[in-house]
């Protein structure tokens, strides 16, 4: 008897939303005008839905008065703050395409994004931490002729823009909003460029509004929920899974701090009685290890989302047991799919939630294919995960060839991730095709080895990569973050721990102990950077290893 193929479709009982983001927000405002909509904890400010709508509409009218119209690009370059959210919804109301610029970008990357997307207006923070945004904008401005306006938060132009809108005719906004289609592009997000320049995934109202809505549905959100969002707004995790999931359900968006801070996040959960908390695994690891963790009152937490990179089983277990997030959900996706394709459900067992990324979301399809032949593989067989449906991007902005490489003629987005689908349709991500290590002809998947090493009592976090080797082609190196007070691990100690429990060829030959991993702003580990650093360390003889 042949095994079922690794293909599954999501439910369709709840219909897709066929409206724009602005229309959806207006509908929520009419239902819940007096409920909290937005809380900026660090700034000590809060908005009800009625107050949020008034400021969003004023900003939208200000943009229209400035001459910004449907289809034009408006960039935003700033860490998390309430004004970021105002810009997100104001641009959506008039049909301007919001280009979200990574707060970690420097002038070279900013110049590329400004030019490639054709940003006409850039809204930015003046500075944050070591980034002087205003100075970098002035540095690149002469080489970006399309950039007509720059507005800095906390500056006179920002206040003037809002005042301009408050004095404008509301009918102008109603006309602009009525002319929009849910299928219009509304957002460009640049995916991390691990090689070359990043690509601008172009997303529509239909893409991201529905993704936020269904993520919220599977988390069981309603108007009484309060979602703590420490993940960055510039990425789908913050602005879609966070903001749009909230506003489509009447829930409150809670911003704990401009950038991730474990203590500020825990304090915000306590102060605002948050029912949901988001983060990538490294954020939850930092929160669990925060000084005085047991002193925070997290009893209001019911659910949350862990996503962005594979979640170690040990971490997931602690989040459920020590943070009280009994209904915490694992989500899997990518920017190009708005982002979520699969999600665990509230009634899934803990085992399911610690070992899989759930099942396909509503109105979506997934399949696992052989990367070479493209054929769908039997269940239980690893292959490349592909997804299709409402969430797949319109394309990479201005790059049809790269779009065609990622999305095939049948509409399937090829993720580049290796996955296995079980008999019930649950998916486990086993790694990236590019991360697979080939050691002496053996295909090794770092995720499996990382999960094993996470159980070591002295290990806080671990990442495994392949490094060049003259004999085997590649060898394994483990980068390890130690628990506080633990002695740094050596390669010999790791080998002793693994002996008899892992196949010999899966045991890392080299160990490198670090304080932090190189990562993107969204918390994704930059393994390409780790490999380059590891190669240098081996050349210098600075890594623990042996024959």
Q: How far apart are the first and last CA of the chain?
A: 46
Domain segments of the chain: what residues? 21-421, 436-545
Q: Residue 403 has what pLDDT?
A: 97
Q: Mean of the pLDDT values across residues 512-541?
A: 87
Q: What is the mean pLDDT of residues 23-46?
A: 98
Sheet with strand 364-369: strands edge to edge: 7-9, 364-369, 383-389, 413-421, 427-432
Q: CA-to-CA distance for 532 and 385, rounded, in angstroms?
A: 27
Distance between CA 217 and CA 51 in Å, rounded? 25
CA dist., res. 74 & res. 124, Å (int): 11
Per DSSP, the three-state class of 365 is strand
**Confidence class of residue 519 from pLDDT cuts 50, 70 and 90?**
confident
Q: Reduce the DSSP state of residue 471 to 3 states and report it.
A: coil
- Is 489 in contact with 480 (CB distance < 8 Å)? yes
Given this model, what pLDDT does residue 447 score? 83
**DSSP bridge partners of 525:** 519
Q: Position of tokens 């049809």?
A: 400
Distance, in Å, from the CA atom of 248 to the CA atom of 251, rounded to the nearest integer, reads 8
User: Using an 8 Å Cβ cutoff, are 228 and 266 in contact?
Assistant: no
Angle, CA of 90, 95 and 98, to the nearest 5°: 65
Asked whether 329 and 370 are in contact (CB, 8 A), the reply is no
**What is the SS3 assignment for 353?**
helix
* Structural domain 21-421, CATH architecture: 3-Layer(aba) Sandwich (3.40)
- What rounded mean pLDDT belongs to the chain? 93
Residue 432 has pLDDT above 90, yes or no: no
CA dihedral for 393, 397, 400, 403, sign (positive or negative): negative
274-325 pLDDT, tens digit per residue, is 999 999 888 999 999 999 999 999 999 999 999 877 677 788 889 999 999 9
Integer CA distances (angstroms), 11 to 143, 159, 183, 234, in order: 49, 46, 22, 29
Alpha helices in 223-280 (DSSP H): 236, 245-247, 262-271
DSSP 8-state secondary structure symbol assigned to residue 8: E
Kindly report which listed range (293-307, 400-414, 453-467, 531-545) carries the lowest average pLDDT score.
Answer: 531-545
pLDDT at 80 (0 to 100): 98
Q: What is the model's pLDDT at position 156?
A: 96
| Residue that wins the pLDDT comparison between 405 and 196 | 405
Residue 528 has pLDDT above 60, yes or no: yes
Global confidence as pTM: 0.86
What's the pLDDT tens digit per position in 107-149? Answer: 988 999 999 999 999 999 999 998 999 999 999 999 999 999 9
Report the distance separating Cα 378 and Cα 101, nearest Å: 40
Work out the pLDDT band at 523, boundaries 50, 70, 90: confident
Q: Do domains 21-421 and 436-545 have the same CATH topology?
A: no
Check residue 280 and report its DSSP letter: -
- Beta bridge partners, 498, equal none
Single out the residue of 168, 73, 69 nearest to residue 123, CA to CA.
73
At 104 the pLDDT is 84
Q: Which residues in 89-131 belong to E strands, given as ranges?
A: 97-100, 119-124
CA dihedral 370, 372, 374, 379 (to 10 degrees): -10
Look at residue 328 and tell me whether its pLDDT is greater than 60: yes
Q: Which whole number is the average pLDDT over 483-499?
A: 92
Summarised one tens digit per residue, pLDDT across range 225-236 is 999 999 999 999
User: What is the H or E stretch that residue 545 is in?
Assistant: strand 544-545
Pairing of strands 200-204, 185-190: antiparallel
* CB proximity list for 349: less than 8 A, separation 6 or greater: none
Confidence band of 525 (pLDDT split at 50, 70, 90): confident
Q: Where are the alpha helices (DSSP H) in 346-487?
A: 350-355, 400-406, 446-454
Structure confidence at residue 342 (pLDDT): 98
Cβ burial 110-143 (10 Å sphere, 16+ → b, else e): bbbbbebbbbbbbbbbeebeebebeebbeebeee
Omega of the bond prior to 339 within 30 degrees of 0, cis?
yes
Encoded tokens for 324: 């009280």
DSSP letter for 239, please. Answer: I
Out of 3.30.300.30, 3.10.20.30, 2.30.42.10, 3.40.50.12160, select the CATH number for domain 436-545.
3.30.300.30
pLDDT band at 1, cuts 50/70/90? very low
Per-residue pLDDT at 117: 98
Calpha distance 421→159 (Å, rounded): 52
DSSP 137-189: HHHHGGG-TT--EEEETTSHHHHHHHHHHHTS-HHHHHHHHHT--TTSEEEEE
Q: Please give the Cα distance from 546 to 232 (Å, whole number).
A: 41
Instruction: Give percent of the chain with pLDDT exceeding 90.
Output: 81
Mean pLDDT over residues 316-341, rounded?
94
pLDDT score of 196: 60
Q: Distance from CA of residue 515 to its chain's centroid? A: 23
Q: What digits encode the pLDDT tens for the residues 169-212?
A: 999 999 999 999 999 999 999 986 544 678 999 999 999 999 99
Length of the chain: 547
Pick 26 or 315 by higher pLDDT. Answer: 26
pLDDT at 486 over 70: yes
Q: Are the C-beta atoms of 132 and 159 separated by less than 8 Å? A: no
How confident is the model at residue 194, as a pLDDT?
Answer: 41
Confidence of residue 61 (pLDDT cuts 50, 70, 90): very high
d(CA 120, CA 146): 6
Q: Which residue has the higher pLDDT, 247 or 350?
A: 247
């Amino acid at each position: 008897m042949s095994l079922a193929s690794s293909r599954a479709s999501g439910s369709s009982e709840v219909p897709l939303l066929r409206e724009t983001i602005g229309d959806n927000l207006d509908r929520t405002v009419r239902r819940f005008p007096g409920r909290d909509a937005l809380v900026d904890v660090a700034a000590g400010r809060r908005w009800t839905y009625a107050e949020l709508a008034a400021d969003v509409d004023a900003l939208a009218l200000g943009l229209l008065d400035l001459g910004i119209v449907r289809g034009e690009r408006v960039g935003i370059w700033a860490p998390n703050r309430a004004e970021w959210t105002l810009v997100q919804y104001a641009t959506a109301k008039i049909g301007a395409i919001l280009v979200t610029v990574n707060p970690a970008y420097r002038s070279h990357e900013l110049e590329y994004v400004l030019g490639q997307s054709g940003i006409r207006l850039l809204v930015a923070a003046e500075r944050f931490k070591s980034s002087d945004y205003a100075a970098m904008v002035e540095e690149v401005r002469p080489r970006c002729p399309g950039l007509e306006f720059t507005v800095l938060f906390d500056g006179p132009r920002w206040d003037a823009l809002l005042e301009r809108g408050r004095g404008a005719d509301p009918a102008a906004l109603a006309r602009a909003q009525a002319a929009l289609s849910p299928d219009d592009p509304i957002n460009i997000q640049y995916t991390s460029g691990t090689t070359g320049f990043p690509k601008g995934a172009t997303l529509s109202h239909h893409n991201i509004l529905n993704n936020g809505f269904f993520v919220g549905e599977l988390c069981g959100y309603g108007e009484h929920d309060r979602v703590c969002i420490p993940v960055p707004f510039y990425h789908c995790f913050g602005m879609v899974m966070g903001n749009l999931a909230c506003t489509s359900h009447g829930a409150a968006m809670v911003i704990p701090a401009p950038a991730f801070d474990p203590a500020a996040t825990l304090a915000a959960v306590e102060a605002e009685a948050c029912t949901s908390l988001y983060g990538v695994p490294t954020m939850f690891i930092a929160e669990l290890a925060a000084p005085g963790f047991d002193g925070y009152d997290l009893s209001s937490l019911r659910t949350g989302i862990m996503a962005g990179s594979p979640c170690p089983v040990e971490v997931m277990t602690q989040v459920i047991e020590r943070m009280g997030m009994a209904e915490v959900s694992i989500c899997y996706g990518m920017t190009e799919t708005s982002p979520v394709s699969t999600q665990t459900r509230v009634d899934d067992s803990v085992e399911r939630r610690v070992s899989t990324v759930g099942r396909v979301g509503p109105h979506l399809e997934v399949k696992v294919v052989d990367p070479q032949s493209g054929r769908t593989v039997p269940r239980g067989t690893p292959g490349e995960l592909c997804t299709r449906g409402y969430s797949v991007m319109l394309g990479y902005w201005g790059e049809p060839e790269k779009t065609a490489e990622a999305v095939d003629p049948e509409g399937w987005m090829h993720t580049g991730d290796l996955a296995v689908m079980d008999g019930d349709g649950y998916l486990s991500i086993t790694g990236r095709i590019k991360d697979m290590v080939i050691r002496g002809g053996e295909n090794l998947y770092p995720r499996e080895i990382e999960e094993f090493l996470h159980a070591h009592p002295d290990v806080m976090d671990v990442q495994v990569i392949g490094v060049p080797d003259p004999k085997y082609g590649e060898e394994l190196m483990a980068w390890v973050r130690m628990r506080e007070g633990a002695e740094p691990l050596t390669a010999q100690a790791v080998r002793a721990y693994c002996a008899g429990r892992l196949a010999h060829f899966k045991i890392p030959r080299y160990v490198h102990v670090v304080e932090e991993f190189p990562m993107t702003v969204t918390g994704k580990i930059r393994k390409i950077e780790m490999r380059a650093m590891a190669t240098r360390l081996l050349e210098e003889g600075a890594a623990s290893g042996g024959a």
